[in-house]
Every structure is written in structure tokens, then in C-alpha cells.
Amino acid sequence: MASGPEPVIEPVIETRGLTKRYRGGQLAVDGLDLVVPRGSVFGFLGPNGSGKTTTIRMLMGLIEPTSGEARVLGEPMPRAGGRVLPRVGALIEGPALYGFLSGRDNLVRYDAADPTADPRTRAARVADALDRVGLAGAAGKKARAYSLGMKQRLGLAAALLQPRELLVLDEPTNGLDPQGMREIRALVRGLAAGGTTVFLSSHLLDEIEQVCSHAAVMARGRLLTQGTVADLASSTRGRLAVTTPDTADAVRVLKEHGVNDLAVADDRVTGELPTGTPPPDLADLNAALVRADVRVRSFGTERVSLEDAFVALTGEGFDVAG
């Protein structure tokens, strides 16, 4: 099949050397080069205090960078905020809600504050947004009676009143119970399936693995890595694991073939595959075991999680207590 060169699609978010030093001298974000592809669900991952919120506030034009550039939907921020922000839905640091108003009336207020929103179609827009976040049944309740998860969903509904190219969500599941987290994740997946690019920050690795196609990992204000979630996990190679009743022979053969850091637990032998280019062919290793009369019950590499990748990158655990 003949095909021309791939069209270059402009990233929805792109930063170069983005840096923020707060007045107190704290370097919160340090030379960030971030690229968020259109159509991705992009996880912005890092422990508490790693600079995620500061980055999001710069992207949304809420604070000025100390140096560097940020482009959102192809335009420079904060300069082009007036043109860019109407195309972006944002949920940052929890939604501002009026507790004495119903969920529906909170959205009516949000919609009325948007000069581009046609008042004649307001009721339909509000009903549709409530429906999309699963709050139609609770729309008449006062917002102060909402659970944290419902408040978070109402904030999302506000961001969804207008069609958006990009949604920016700062820790959207923070403080939610497991059911609330599942609901928000399902919502994010649905939005992404509808073509919206979603940029969400999180300090929860499994959350990123569950909903995101891409991720960037931050620590102490610096970007450690970014790419597809699959590539990030596979950049850290899993340990080789062999199950066999002949553990001693397996260890000997694997050692001869350059496998390091071998460990035996019951009938399971694990070890680090030798690094090198090209990497060793697992089929050859398996054949060597069989040739040496090692009876192999199972053979493969252990699954690597994003958490393993993070630990390998930083040399430290992923401290969520922060």
C-alpha cells in the first residue's frame, strides 16, 4: 500500500525549558520540555511536591513562568489565553461551587458566566453535561449535600458545558473513594473515546496505567521521562523467571549464558537478563536449558509495571505520602 509521509500533527501542549522559581526561591519546575500528542490521555505523574500543579498553572496562564515557553493548542501561553482558554476545559484544585445552590443551578451559573454561551440553549447544555457525568438524578440536590466524588463530577460537568479540544484535570481522583475513582476514570475514557485530549495529573501509578496512553514522570521539578505508557514500562526490562524442578542446573546454565543476580525460591529461578545489543534471544536461552536436561515448566519475563520503571528511573520508591 502506497502512503505518503505522515502528516505532522501539532501537539496540544508543548513546553520548552519551562521553569518556575517562586518568590521565596523555591525552584518548583526546572527546564521542562513536555510534548502532549493530540488524542492522547496523558498522565502527568509525580509524587506530591514534584511540580505538577505549578506546571498546570503555567499552562493555563494562571501564573507566569520564570523562563521558558509553553504552547497550548499551538498558541503561546499566557499571552494567547483569551483565545486558547475557551477551547480548554480545566479542573484545578477542586471546583468552586455554591453549596446553597443545586448541582443544576451551579452549572447554570457557570454557563451564564460564559459570554459565548447562548442563553436559549442553556437548559439543554446543562442537562447534557449533568447526564454525561452521571449526575442527572442528583441535579436538584444542593451541592453542599454532594459527596466529594459528586462535587468532582459537577466540576467536570462545568468543564464539559462547551465542546473542548483539551481537558486539563489536576488530580481528578484525589480524595475519592474507590467507587468515585472508578467513575472518574470511566468518564475520562469516554471523553477520550470521543476525541478529546485529556491531560491529567496524578500521584497514583496504577491510575495512570489504567487510563493513560502516554505519561510523563516528574520528580523534584524535573522531567525524568515521557512517552507511551507501554514504552515507559518496557524501557525497564522484566526479570527472567524459570519454573523448574532442576533449579541448581538451571542456575548453572543461566549463569553460563550471562544471566546475573540469580535467585532461587522453591521451584522458581529468577535473574537479570544480560544487557547488550542485540539483547539475548529468549528462545536460545530456553533451548540451552532444555539441552542441559533442565525440565522447564514455565519460562518468561516478569511483567514490569510503571512503578518498576519509576523506581528504576529514580532509584527510589514512589512516595505518595509526600
Ligand X SMILES: Nc1ncnc2c1ncn2[C@@H]1O[C@H](COP(=O)(O)OP(=O)(O)OP(=O)(O)O)[C@@H](O)[C@H]1O
Q: Which is nearer to ligand X, 167 or 218 (CB)?
A: 218
- Residue keyed to cell 505549578: 54
State in angstroms the smallest separation of the CB of 48 from ligand X: 3
Please select the residue that binds ligand X; options are 19, 40, 43, 46, rule is CB under 6 A. Answer: 46
Identity (one letter) of the amino acid at 87?
R
Q: Confirm or reject binding of residue 22 to ligand X (CB under 6 A).
A: yes
Give the Cβ contact number of residue 277 at 10 Å: 4
State in angstroms the smallest separation of the CB of 195 from ligand X: 28
Q: Confirm or reject binding of residue 48 to ligand X (CB under 6 A).
A: yes
Mark 169-208 with x for binding to ligand X (rule: CB under 6 A) and - for no binding: ----------------------------------x-----
Q: Confirm or reject binding of residue 54 to ligand X (CB under 6 A).
A: yes
Please select the residue that binds ligand X; options are 31, 37, 39, 49, rule is CB under 6 A. Answer: 49
The footprint of ligand X on residues 201-240 (CB under 6 A) is: 203
Q: Confirm or reject binding of residue 24 to ligand X (CB under 6 A).
A: yes
Those residues with Cβ within 8 angstroms of residue 111's Cβ, 6 or more apart along the chain or in another chain: 117, 122, 125, 126, 161
Q: Which is nearer to ligand X, 22 or 98 (CB)?
A: 22
Q: Confirm or reject binding of residue 51 to ligand X (CB under 6 A).
A: yes
Please select the residue that binds ligand X; options are 30, 52, 103, 125, rule is CB under 6 A. Answer: 52
Candidate segments 43-51, 185-193, 243-251, 300-308, binder of ligand X by CB under 6 A: 43-51
Q: Confirm or reject binding of residue 147 to ligand X (CB under 6 A).
A: no
Q: Which is nearer to ligand X, 25 or 194 (CB)?
A: 25
Give whole-number Cα distances, 238 to 170, 241, 302, 312, in Å.
31, 9, 5, 11
Residue 248: all three cell numbers together? 541448581
Q: Which is nearer to ligand X, 28 or 130 (CB)?
A: 28
How many residues in the shown chain lie near ligand X by CB under 6 A?
A: 14
Please select the residue that binds ligand X; options are 15, 50, 152, 197, rule is CB under 6 A. Answer: 50
Cα angle 55, 23, 199 (rounded to 5 degrees) comes to 5
Candidate segments 6-14, 47-55, 82-90, 222-230, binder of ligand X by CB under 6 A: 47-55
- Rounded Cα distance between 119 and 49, Å, is 41
Q: Confirm or reject binding of residue 53 to ligand X (CB under 6 A).
A: yes
Q: Confirm or reject binding of residue 94 to ligand X (CB under 6 A).
A: no
Q: Confirm or reject binding of residue 65 to ligand X (CB under 6 A).
A: no
- Residue keyed to cell 505520602: 321
Residue 105: all three cell numbers together? 443551578
State in angstroms the smallest separation of the CB of 59 from ligand X: 12
Q: Confirm or reject binding of residue 59 to ligand X (CB under 6 A).
A: no
Distance separating the N- and C-terminal Cα atoms of the chain: 52
Q: Confirm or reject binding of residue 28 to ligand X (CB under 6 A).
A: yes
Q: Which is nearer to ligand X, 135 or 184 (CB)?
A: 184
Q: Confirm or reject binding of residue 26 to ligand X (CB under 6 A).
A: yes
Q: Which residues bind ligand X (CB under 6 A)?
A: 22, 24, 26, 28, 46, 48-54, 203, 322
